[in-house]
Amino acid sequence: MYIADGHHRSAAAALVGQEKKEQNPKHTGKEEYNYFMTVIFPDNQLNVIDYNRVVKDLNGLSKEQFIAAVGESYDLQDMGTEIYKPAKLHEHSMYLDGHWYKMTAKPGTYNDNDPIGVLDVTILSNLVLDKVLGIKDLRTDKRIDFVGGIRGLGELKRRVDNGEMKVAFALYPVSMKQIIDIADTGNIMPPKTTWFEPKLRSGLVIHELC
């Protein structure tokens, strides 16, 4: 089994269980704290959707300078004003100043033999977010936000058009095979890489461990 969502909750449950075990001299392994609730899906019943990025500024660059900098690592094609969705691996789309651009990573800018390096989220992070926009840490940088693909690419357009964000990037979804390969090689997925469907109904439930 692979944890597709809820890694932090699973880790927290394991830590609480270990702490409770150490506090209980009569530990048997059957106590409630040894377990946490899960739901299990066959991999062919999970749908992996893209997880996209929006950025607040161009790191001090003009539009022309930014496009030129991105063009060092990507073949860029202006697709006009209609929403353009990436069609294959290593192809992204960018929305900037009312236009969508097809971004195709140039050969040699990524490593298909590396289970992490092959991911489009890694390629975009290395070649654009870090190198051009100066975003070093996706977890803490306030200039970037993430938009689940379930919202559609229209949400990217909306957030740029209303002035909240300056540029948006849409990514090709990670495959189930890539996810399994990363887990099997002991690697960790980059932050905000996958959006899984179906998702369970959510709510606030508290169960006190005795």
Q: Is residue 208 part of a domain?
A: no
Q: For residues 93 and 127, state if they share a domain.
A: yes
DSSP 158-197: HHHHTTS-SEEEE-PPPPHHHHHHHHHTT--PPTT--EEE
Owning domain of residue 28: 1-40
Q: Is residue 203 part of a domain?
A: no
Q: Is residue 209 part of a domain?
A: no
Q: What is the DSSP letter of 88?
A: S
Q: For residues 14 and 117, state if they share a domain.
A: no
Q: For residues 20 and 59, state if they share a domain.
A: no
Q: For residues 22 and 96, state if they share a domain.
A: no
Q: For residues 36 and 50, state if they share a domain.
A: no
Q: In the structure encoding, which two tokens stand for residue 23, read together?
A: 């506090």
**Amino acid code (one letter) for 170:** A
Q: For residues 87 and 116, state if they share a domain.
A: yes
Q: For 71, phi and psi rounded to 5 degrees?
A: -65, -15
Q: Are 105 and 88 in contact (CB under 8 A)?
A: no
Compute the distance between CA of residue 174 and CA of residue 164 in angstroms, rounded to an integer: 27
Mean pLDDT of the chain: 93
Q: Is residue 169 part of a domain?
A: yes
pTM of this structure: 0.84
What confidence tens digit (pLDDT) does each residue in 40-96 have? 999 888 889 999 999 999 999 999 999 999 999 999 999 999 999 999 999 999 999
What confidence tens digit (pLDDT) does each residue in 88-106 have? 999 999 999 999 999 999 9
Q: For residues 82 and 21, state if they share a domain.
A: no
Q: For residues 102 and 127, state if they share a domain.
A: yes
